[in-house]
Amino acid sequence: MKESHLSIVSILGVFILWFLVTRDGLGIVKPVIFPSPFMVIEAAISTSSLIGTDVLYTMFRVVCGLVTGTVLGITVGMLVCFNNKLYYLINPLIESSRPVPVIAMIPFFLMWFGIGEIGKFLLVTLGVFAIIVINTIEAIRNVQPIYVKAGQTLGAGKKDIFSKIILPSIIPALIGPIRVCVAISFTLVVAAEFMGAQAGMGYRILQARKMFNTDVIFLGVVMFGILSALVDTSIRKLLQHLTRWTERA
């Protein structure tokens, strides 16, 4: 069996197990506790218009916060590394705030910004920024000095060293952190939508919980998994294309 087929087998195995333990199979678990696959499919069909709108809201929040936090994190990380005064000014703030869970700030964001989009956007941006800025600083520090010296020997200016040596060198080191930030972005958006929203997958799950609609709840969980996988795959393919010159196992 090809390795690519193993993923399909594992997914089918989970689906079959899910089918067997629920109402449509052996009925081991009650539907109110764990809905069957066909119940989830029926819920997807009956709520397709609402779910479509919720998906758009959630994806908009995730993508905007993820992109903004990544760009800001890389930018600040580079500025800090190339300016010692800025490093000693900003680094203590970064290090002292890094251990604080961003999700703990949700009540304050609700008080400051209400249930509008600004609070959710800033929450995701802050969560992504905290991870990317640290990893950018470490990635730049790990760039081999011999590459920079070689560029200077060949007459490269600061702009060329940055664009042709530093930036290409740190992108491979940021692939992992950016992929982690995808999952964190969805987590923060779900939490924010639980706390206060009028649309979004988190909001839909919360409303379904109040009505004990476990099929809609499970549909929301499945949709989060699918959306997260799509965003992660897209970013991974893009970053692999940008770093196609590197050797990978």
Which of 226 and 245 is assigned the larger pLDDT? 226
Q: Average pLDDT, stretch 178-195?
A: 88
Q: Average pLDDT, stretch 180-193?
A: 88
pLDDT at position 6 is 74
Q: Average pLDDT, stretch 128-151?
A: 83
pTM of the complete model = 0.82
| Residue 102: band (very low, low, confident or very high) from pLDDT cuts 50, 70, 90 | confident
Q: What CATH number labels 36-242?
A: 1.10.3720.10
Total Cβ atoms within 10 A of residue 131: 20
Which of 168 and 234 is assigned the larger pLDDT? 234
pLDDT at position 113 is 82
Asked whether the predicted pLDDT for residue 105 surpasses 90, the reply is no
Asked whether the predicted pLDDT for residue 69 surpasses 90, the reply is yes
What is the token pair recorded at 226? 């699918």
| Residue 4: band (very low, low, confident or very high) from pLDDT cuts 50, 70, 90 | low
Residue 135 · residue 174 · CB < 8 Å: yes
Pick the most confident of 47-51, 86-90, 179-183, 198-202.
Answer: 179-183
pLDDT at position 65 is 92
